[in-house]
Amino acid sequence: EDQVTQSPEALRLQEGESSSLNCSYTVSGLRGLFWYRQDPGKGPEFLFTLYSAGEEKEKERLKATLTKKESFLHITAPKPEDSATYLCAVLGGTGANNLFFGTGTRLTVIP
Amino acid sequence: NAGVTQTPKFRILKIGQSMTLQCAQDMNHNYMYWYRQDPGMGLKLIYYSVGAGITDKGEVPNGYNVSRSTTEDFPLRLELAAPSQTSVYFCASSLRGRYSNQPQHFGDGTRLSIL
């Protein structure tokens, strides 16, 4: 079954405490993996697209990596403004035509 | 540059009432989508459109209708509201279609409660 699983569901970090969010997938025929940030009461905001295993993308304190089974979103020295829900979505599946969303990781960074 | 604009932001409906959720984008994107987001669930695709006059069903279309008369607008219609339609609804658009690896850009959602 095509599925995207994000872990942990929630993560609390002290400001400056680096960590990683995980997105594992069983979607066949990967054509792209997307990371989004979602603030409370807002829509998802696009962060990165990863296309193939081994690829990495960086933006400020965020770094996304991709393997054949999972993606990690590494957060280095987070700040309170990094608090948000981070969503992962995988394009693929039968015919490589579907976009599967995970349920997100809710990150809280404490000053 | 507004991106994707959704109205209203909040709405409470009674069972059996109908309403239209509005969505407009100013990025000249041909592809537009409607999703619902329920607590603890990933975004689910309701309907999508590949251009003016062309729409198709997504994963959870029952109880909804759409139309696409212009490139900019993609309204979602609920005809007979049911409690199961209580959700947050997001409209999105993309430069290329859902089968491409171009990212989708989202509006800020409409929070709908059916009582």
Q: For each successive 10 residues of chain B (115 residues), what is the average pLDDT?
A: 91 96 95 93 91 92 96 96 97 79 90 96
**Tally: H helices and E strands in chain B:** 0, 11
pLDDT at residue number B102: 80
Question: CB–CB of A42 and B4 under 8 A?
Answer: no
Q: In angstroms, what CA-CA distances link A63 with A18, A49, A51, A80? A: 11, 11, 15, 17
Q: Nearest C-alpha of chain A: how many angstroms from B110?
A: 9
pLDDT at residue number A30: 86
Residue window 18-57, chain A: list those with CB within 8 Å of chain B. 31-32, 34, 36, 41-46, 49, 51
B4 vs A: CB within 8 A: yes
CB atoms near residue A10 (< 10 Å): 11
Is residue A27 scored above 80 in pLDDT?
yes
Show the CA angle centred on residue B101, arms to residues A74 and A90, nearest 5°.
50
